[in-house]
Structure 1
């Protein structure tokens, strides 16, 4: 586990911790089998990842996301830059994912441009 979170992880944790996000309980840096996820809401089986450019088209991340999807977790990935500059859009994407528990995960690599489907979020 990393002891020093990135600026984006710190900002995202500030939003999610202590049930600040509409009362939803999130945990940080949680091991799930052989993987560690950045943030997770167990009640809704939602994993949120803050990603830097090292995650673009990363085979390890694809395998990890596939495994976690098989365990019935849903994934949201946000680029670090979007977390830091588009907090409202990131919050809306998280809120939507929490409300839509029926959505099925669809593992996809991050785009080369470093942007997600909502200029900040993409299902992973």
Structure 2
């Protein structure tokens, strides 16, 4: 079962929606608050779109294929495992990228310890 999750994550990393690709271009290489994000990562029986282990934060990019009921079950399971899950619609990522990135940045600041700046 674990191997199939890894293989599925690899397949998802090769593809991705335009919104996921755009968001990844801003999350990769520690561009937001210096934290590392990983893309399409198995977490339990789910695959997180974007995961920051340091902040225990999962960012999900939701398109038309998502059902609110299934997303609620998934979010509850991931939050029970200690993660905070934040979701953005693909059209929001594409049309308001700055606002989405600011929302992610704010959540990171709430969840990660930062030394005081001099």
Residue 23 of structure 1 aligns to a residue in which SS?
A: coil
Unaligned runs of 5+ residues in structure 2 are 1-7, 113-118
Structure richer in helix, relative to its length = 2
The structural deviation recorded for 1:60 is 2.1
Alignment counterpart, residue 63 of structure 1, candidates 66, 69, 73: 73
Alignment counterpart, residue 43 of structure 1, candidates 48, 54, 64: 54
Paired residues in the alignment total 101
Point out 4+ residue stretches in structure 1 off by more than 2 angstroms.
Answer: none
Unaligned runs of 5+ residues in structure 1 are 103-124
Residues 20-31 of structure 1 correspond to what in structure 2 (within 5 A)? 20-31=31-42
Structure 1 or 2, whichever has the larger Rg, is 2
Residues 2-41 of structure 1 correspond to what in structure 2 (within 5 A)? 2=12, 3-41=14-52
In angstroms, what is the RMSD of aligned CA positions?
1.4
The structural deviation recorded for 1:5 is 0.6
> For residue 83 of structure 1, what is the aligned residue in structure 2?
93
Q: Provide the TM-score with structure 2 as the length reference.
A: 0.80
